Chain A
């Protein structure tokens, strides 16, 4: 944890995302983007953490993130994704979705495309369209899916002026996050604790499946899918609980893990080491969940009764049974560490890629850790 220093940036950070590295390259990511919120002028900024300054005058052996460029963003940055190496999609609290282009040669950002009224409320009394916050965005080149407080789901395609498909009134409550399950299916979570699967191949505007928690309808704030095993989904709720779901079966989560003391804002499986999960929360902590097991321990799975054995029959042809779906993942196999050195205000966002982690907080600080698995 020694190389986890804070850089104060004079804006509350709502989202941080690493720029994806080309698949063939083995180097760690060098660039990340941040979005701010609650400012009179919000910004999308691009930062670099190259290897320069490898032994600074103070003896710190990583360079601080350096600001490369930034651009004004109307409204709070509610969600952000890298569309490809050069383009960033940002969801705004005014209800618009914007694609920004990062020009590498002169280090500037410019607006590439904007959908102004992606999300809006219709006031029944007057013909006035009030903007509704767009709360989540996910991309899978060339498609972009956005969800918002108006309960609407939009499917956009870059370079198309209008939405390719819009599901009106998809949800009667606010949709908080969206992610791709398969290329034509998405997962959404909403503020009455439901996880829904939507299939774009179907023409009807109904979800193909609805999952919900038992008990109180605690709102869910974030969702992420296991990178390799597409049936495993993790969600984080308003009470800080981490839920693991198996979308092939049942309508209830496989496991519920009491995690944070306040809203969990983001959950991410590590894209290349999916035994590692990261969550960040309003209570100011960022947890690293590590379920990587030794090879010698695998046979013990076969002896567990109950749920695991039924799973076994499905996954018998798979050599690896995910630790996430085991009966009791916390039974001496999960290591949980808090990565933020001194917690004060909320950690709003995190992103992991390779050995690097970046997170942004309400204390206007960015933390970068480039040696996660050291």
Chain B
């Protein structure tokens, strides 16, 4: 096998090196293209890329002057937008996974769903800790929401319990109550507890007390005006009350309720017993905090996080990549988070957009990478380069390069030259991108490529329109020469609609001007406006617009005018013509003494004769007095 590197891919091909005793195998060798980033080709993920591109552009263009609260609110909105896009993508992928019958595809889609859900989990946590920057008190509320949204599927279990005739007899009943308590959903827990109270009159007393405790639990709600200290005091009181009930042995007869009371008191062992319900160490962390330190400050999180993970995993299993990413987030090590995500995920999409958002939150200012650009730019460049290797998503990549101040332009210049231009429409779009960014080199080179293609296909009008766009005088000269060559060979012009209607673009190159004027001469001649035609012809030669190679043709064109019945060329003009002829022959005799053939000599002689005759007639006519 042999291979060669492409821009984002690798070309692998089989070679047939004949071995000594190998059999001769007929058939052509296979060629493989190995792509390292297959996510870019997923249909569903394309939606993610496109939608997030829109959000990215919106963020870059948004008002920087908004300061303080409104800016923060705006950034939180952007973050939520990104998350909703991830979630929509996840939904769709999930639909695909359950509707497909192919087990391999099902596996692939399910893996994607879990990756996307992990991404959303991480993003949500980063939003709470870094974008929202929730202070103590509110922090826990956000973390609670986060846990409720992402961890473990409570609703289906609860639905099952409630749908049964005697909910409190259901095997999962106490599990449901427990999980509500663990997630701090007091109202739901109380609702379930009331079912137990109504079903089991003996425990009604205990239920009432527990219900009461749950009701009285102080919760800081957003918009509540009480201060943190007030909240802490109230919480302390409540905690002591729960303690009293536990120590009095109120719940001794019902182990379920006793464990709930212990959970309310924040007893770690009691909470740890419900490991299976919580499923993850971060759920454990949040539950612990709810019931032992509800006013936890952001900086304190790291200690609780580390101990929670240790307690939960208990040395049985080592942390997975997701765990270390979350841990880094809890420790407020943003760079660590980004680094771990880059390693764990196969595509740059997540880290590029997250880093860009965090950069807008002014959290990444101080960190510069040693090769000159900062982390945000590096990641965006990588992501956009990945997009450019896709046959269609390159248009998104352009905008990302635009927002990389240091290297974006250079990257764009290199990438955009390599986009294959199959149709004129695509070339026009690429050209527009280059023109808008003042990339003149690329404009010229694209126009030249398209113009050459057109010339090769004999589409001279298209070629001309490309050279006009690039203001390429040299190419316009080439095209005009082609037209003139065609004329010399065939004796008539092709594509008259083009030459007759050149307009101001005629001035792009001298040769083009000559072509237009020459055609005009022919038209004037056809319309029998001989004196104007004569003047034009003379002007073409004397003003040196005509190329030297064409002078003979022009002089021969003058012949019919010289031979007309009425005198068209005045004496002055005839002298001019003669001078031109002499210039021409003088030049010729110097260089081509040995190549002058009879035909040339005859032409010159005929011309001389015609000029002389015309001169004679012109002198006579001009000298004659007009008859009265």
Contacts and interface: CB of A to CB of B under 8 A. Distances in A.
Contacts of B498: 172-173, 192
Interface string B400-437: 00000000000000000000001111101100100010
A219 B465 contact: yes
Given A10-B47, A173-B498, A149 B468 contact: no
Contacts of A173: 459, 461-462, 464-465, 498
A207 interface: yes
A171 B462 CA distance: 9
B501 interface: yes
Contacts of B50: 8, 10, 363-365
Q: Which interface residue of A37, A38, A132, A362 has the most chain B CB atoms within 10 A?
A: A38
Interface in A174-222: 174, 190-192, 194, 196, 207, 210, 212, 214-217, 219
What DSSP secondary structure best describes chain A's contact surface?
loop
B46 interface: yes
Contacts of A310: none
Contacts of A38: 391-392, 426
Contact of B505 (A9, A78, A122, A216): A216
Interface stretch (B51-59, B126-134, B230-238): B51-59
A39 B459 contact: no
A364 B428 CA distance: 19
B126 to A, nearest CB: 24
B324 to A, nearest CB: 33
Contacts of A78: 423, 425
Contacts of A282: 428-429, 432
A121 B422 contact: no
A191 to B, nearest CB: 4
Nearest to A174: B462
Interface residues of B, number: 43
Contacts of B44: 10
A342 interface: yes
A12 B53 CA distance: 14
Interface string A1-21: 000000011111000000000
Contacts of A150: 457, 459
Contacts of B432: 262-263, 282
Contacts of A149: 423-424, 459, 462
B24 interface: no
A130 B462 CA distance: 16
A151 interface: yes
Contacts, number: 137
A238 B501 contact: no
B336 to A, nearest CB: 33
B504 interface: yes
A93 interface: yes
A344 interface: yes
A124 B458 contact: yes
Interface residues of A, number: 53
B494 interface: yes
A191 B497 contact: no
B60 to A, nearest CB: 11
Given A10-B47, A38-B426, A173-B498, A216 B504 contact: yes
B223 interface: no
Given A76-B422, A192-B498, A363-B54, A346 B461 contact: no
Nearest to B468: A217
A294 interface: no
A345 interface: yes
B428 A194 contact: no
A11 B49 CA distance: 12
Q: Which interface residue of A262, A344, A362 has the most chain B CB atoms within 10 A?
A: A344
B423 A207 contact: no
B423 A93 contact: yes
A344 B502 CA distance: 36
Interface in B523-549: none
A361 to B, nearest CB: 9
B462 A210 contact: no
Contact of A345 (B395, B423, B425, B456): B395
A342 B457 contact: no
A123 B501 CA distance: 27
A93 B54 contact: no
A214 to B, nearest CB: 7
Contact of A210 (B43, B395, B426, B497): B497
Nearest to A170: B497
B395 A217 contact: no
Q: Which interface residue of B458, B497, B498 has the most chain A CB atoms within 10 A?
A: B497
A212 B503 contact: yes
Contacts of A12: 392, 395
A149 B399 CA distance: 30
A332 interface: no
B440 to A, nearest CB: 17
Interface in A52-83: 76, 78
Given A10-B44, A150-B457, A262-B432, A192 B501 contact: yes
Contact of B501 (A212, A262, A345, A346): A212
A159 interface: no
B187 interface: no
A216 B468 CA distance: 9
B501 A217 contact: yes
B495 interface: yes
A133 interface: yes
B460 interface: yes
B457 A132 contact: yes
Nearest to A346: B429
Interface string B459-475: 11110110010000000
Contacts of A362: 395, 429
B391 A190 contact: no
A174 B468 contact: no
Nearest to A14: B425
Contacts of B460: 172
A63 to B, nearest CB: 16
Contacts of B47: 8-10, 364
Contacts of A9: 47
B453 to A, nearest CB: 9
A10 B391 contact: no
A353 to B, nearest CB: 25
Nearest to A76: B423
Given A39-B391, A172-B497, A263 B54 contact: no
Interface string A124-150: 100000101101000000000000011
B137 to A, nearest CB: 32
A122 B461 contact: no
Contacts of A212: 501, 503
Given A191-B465, A363-B54, A133 B424 contact: yes
A217 B391 contact: no
A297 interface: no
B392 to A, nearest CB: 5
Given A10-B47, A190-B461, A344 B53 contact: yes
Contacts of B423: 76, 78, 93, 133, 149
Contacts of A216: 468, 503-505
Q: Which interface residue of A172, A212, A217 has the most chain B CB atoms within 10 A?
A: A172
Q: Which interface residue of B392, B396, B425, B428 has the most chain A CB atoms within 10 A?
A: B425
Given A12-B395, A122-B457, A282-B428, 4 more contacts: A173-B462, A174-B465, A216-B504, A216-B505
20 contacts: A10-B46, A39-B391, A39-B392, A76-B423, A76-B426, A124-B458, A149-B424, A149-B459, A171-B497, A172-B494, A173-B465, A173-B498, A174-B465, A192-B501, A194-B497, A215-B503, A216-B468, A217-B501, A342-B57, A344-B57
Pick the 7 closest A-B CB pairs, nearest first. A173-B461, A172-B461, A172-B495, A121-B457, A10-B46, A8-B47, A191-B465
Interface of A: 8-12, 37-40, 76, 78, 93, 121-124, 130, 132-133, 135, 149-151, 169, 171-174, 190-192, 194, 196, 207, 210, 212, 214-217, 219, 238, 262-263, 282, 342, 344-346, 362-365
